[in-house]
Homo-oligomer: A and B are copies of this chain.
């Protein structure tokens, strides 16, 4: 009896010590190993420590720890074109046999010849035609399947990597660090909500109900007695610029205390976040690393980071992250 109890207690002590030991090791481990020591990393850690210490003036209860992230250019890359647009191009190619008329119809004719420049001379109208012809006309279940198949196999034109590998390692660490501190992390993106929802949980740990994005209208129908939602070629909501606070307010119903973006499209989201009062963290990823990623800013049509945005960031105390200087590693596949 004595031996048994002693042996059980020894086991319990070993377990307790192992658990305590793990926690000590975890606490000492750097939660942001891909971030160089510098102002952005310091700002993140300082902010998180400030809002999570109960009894301190900046403490924020867990339920209110809302952090919003733009996607394109903030969580994953966006060059040479937004990945969703590359998806649309791949879909035009895949659907071309069912659309013989596209051979003589712009923007499809140029696009199918690989002449992107001519395809896009039609401007926004051309883009809308490409998007609607590839994103509407099917059920939501069918679209989800199409996105899942594409994202599992399609390769980035420059790196040959899966698009889900073109995510930023430092931001994955940031998402995990915030969640470990009881933040709820949301995507707030100009991209299509149903283009993102099928894979954000696996790739970012962000479940579909925490994705805010642009959308087209859908319509409930019974097909052979079975209910389906049909995707219509009509915009419902554009979650960009002034749309971002609108989407946040409607879908999240609380103001974020931290917001992360990279372009002029995120400006109002950061303004809205800051205007809430109390401790706030606003950050912008700046693409200044032509060697490891891309370098672009005010002049770029994709992910424009205007001089006006830079001036506002300085004026408002928003942190600008230099990919070149602040990130040790950009993509998870780098050594």
Contact = CB atoms under 8 A, between A and B. Distances in A.
A253 B12 contact: no
Nearest to A268: B220
Interface of A: 5-6, 8-10, 12-13, 16, 63, 66, 140, 184, 186, 193-194, 197, 201, 207-211, 215, 218-220, 226-227, 229, 236, 242-243, 245-246, 249-254, 268, 271-272, 275
12 contacts: A6-B9, A12-B13, A12-B16, A194-B253, A209-B209, A209-B251, A209-B252, A211-B253, A218-B249, A219-B246, A229-B245, A236-B250
Contacts of A211: 253
A253 B193 contact: yes
Q: Do most interface residues of chain A lie in helix, strand or loop, or is the interface mixed? A: helix
A243 B246 CA distance: 20
B218 A246 contact: yes
A177 to B, nearest CB: 21
Given A63-B207, A207-B63, A227 B253 contact: no
Contact of A242 (B63, B184, B220, B245): B220
A220 B208 contact: no
A268 to B, nearest CB: 6
A132 B204 CA distance: 40
A246 B275 contact: no
Nearest to A273: B227
Contact of A272 (B207, B227, B253): B227
A137 B184 CA distance: 31
Contacts of A272: 220, 227
A42 to B, nearest CB: 27
A5 to B, nearest CB: 7
Given A5-B13, A13-B12, A208-B252, A246 B220 contact: yes
Given A10-B9, A13-B9, A251 B251 contact: yes
Contact of A197 (B197, B207, B253, B275): B253
A218 B12 CA distance: 57
Contact of A184 (B140, B209, B236, B254): B209
